Structure 1
């Protein structure tokens, strides 16, 4: 078992920040002002929307990478098909040229020019071989032309799809930037006391992690506590929710998808009552946020801008969509 002894506290969920702040701030009349609660609630809503747009943008980038790989393969297939077509066309041309140069024989001509029965049989054998070669070459040429046509269509389709994905990525990036701008403006409108509370690291208890892949992944995630959340960041100095989970399992030797959408399909499904250390917990019907279980009660996650990577109550983070187990 490995012990996590860092004094950094855990990171709260961006949609649960209002509840956390309400529970931890002094209950003076000033802190109980509805306008402060409304401002924080609005920030959480904007942050949740930004998180989804961030995952959408990341997914579009993954889709483009996959489509580019498909395009590269299609181009390679097209090149090979064209080379095969060129080679076979040359062979057919040689056979055709030989035919018109008098190299084509038939049974009568073979009989007339043969010096003996054996010579006749030899000539007939050569005629049959030539005919078979010609037919085979023609068939292979036809197949090569068809393959080249198919590869050309695939390459053209992949090219058009890539262009559409590039345009989609640009639009999603613009949407994300707009949403981030609104969320950041709302964050700046929060009181200093609220922002200070959001920046607290939280849980400072020692945590023992299990042996094996899940334990190694969890230890990595715990080691990131206190680092800032940045939309689209891949570490090592800052994270978004899904990059933290991906990096944690990568450190344990397991490859999972970059987005919370992909992670919602990783491993196998487990119920809320079965949750144990290292399980991936995906939140909201949109599956736009993800955390890693510390145990059956707590989870570590990168929640939102203004809040460091920290530990929170599993059920306080948001409505759970799916829980996935990578190991076991």
Structure 2
């Protein structure tokens, strides 16, 4: 099943993101509502298996949306933390500036009283007085510069606080989207399990042994051809080491994986940072024709690139198929191939 994440686009276009995520949720919800909760008595096992496959495909798509939302929440969370740190540093600087002005005021007082302008500037609302042009005529050059710096720092801090508040509100919305997509995935997987359990035991065992192409394997075949690079070779070694580990939706290793999580983890072992989603991984390198695929290339499936595997040569990919099917080899043509990417 596909877990995958595309790096968030620069900026925080909230309306666009919320619209996209809401549309994805609505689409997934509609698909979910259209699938029966269990097999009808007249359904043939082949029909039930086809429905289970369709549920897994829909769950992959919902997982993709989940991973995107979760990645966005992570980025927003980091931005909020950085904003808080920056605000704290800004407040400390303002406190130091006010302290310096206070020391200057003390010196003036000892020399015969505080200038009325400075008294106003050290009050709770110095900006109001600074906005009056005549004030600058009554403050020394040094004081005017310090007080102007203070005003600018206060305005900058206010802007940072406003932006931090906006990001925090966006983070809370993103968390809600994550939770919604998580429920969609869990519902689809629960439906798939119920349908599988409705099959006769021999049919269920046959399904567990097979992939969507009916030829899943856990043994280690020889590579068919040379990897495209040394980093591809390292990623291949990592992916092969993951054979037999369980499919876990939303996971990127090392104990469990979803499809894009396996690709991200494998290339991370080679020192290469891939984006989290299969749709983003699709564009993480140079696209080549399937006929020119080399071991280590990424193979994405379906038009929406909701599933991904790593080409191993000899017409085989290694991938994390779906819940209940561990990381394994399958024929590259198990599903419609949408692209091949050389990292």
TM-score (norm 2): 0.70
1:233 aligns with 2:251: yes
Give the C-alpha shift of residue 160 in structure 1. 0.5
Structure 2 residue matching 1:323: 3-state secondary structure: strand
1:325 aligns with 2:342: yes
CA distance in 2, matches of 1:204, 1:83: 61
Give the C-alpha shift of residue 153 in structure 1. 0.8
1:82 aligns with 2:91: yes
Stretch moving more, 261-270 or 169-178: 261-270
TM-score (norm 1): 0.73
Structure 1 residue matching 2:173: 3-state secondary structure: helix
2:167 aligned partner: 158
Structure 1 residue matching 2:336: 3-state secondary structure: coil
Stretch moving more, 64-73 or 242-251: 242-251
CA distance in 1, matches of 2:262, 2:203: 25
Cα 1:178–1:169 change in 2 (3 A) is same
1:289 aligns with 2:307: yes
Give the C-alpha shift of residue 296 in structure 1. 6.8
Q: Indicate if the aligned counterparts of 1:64 and 1:162 stay in contact, CA closer than 8 A.
A: yes
Per-residue CA deviation, residues 212-238 of structure 1 (Å, 9 max, x unaligned), is 111121122123233332322333443
Structure 2 residue matching 1:242: 3-state secondary structure: helix
CA distance in 1, matches of 2:341, 2:141: 60
What's the C-alpha RMSD, in Å, of the aligned pairs? 2.8
Stretch moving more, 89-98 or 78-87: 89-98
Residue of structure 2 aligned with 1:202, choices 217, 220, 224: 217
1:117 aligned partner: none
Higher relative contact order (CA 8 A, sep 6+): 1
Q: Highest Rg: 1 or 2?
A: 1
Cα 1:224–1:199 change in 2 (3 A) is farther
Q: Which runs of 5+ in 2 are unaligned?
A: 3-41, 116-138, 210-215
Cα 1:62–1:277 change in 2 (3 A) is same
Structure 2 residue matching 1:234: 3-state secondary structure: coil
CA distance in 2, matches of 1:257, 1:137: 47
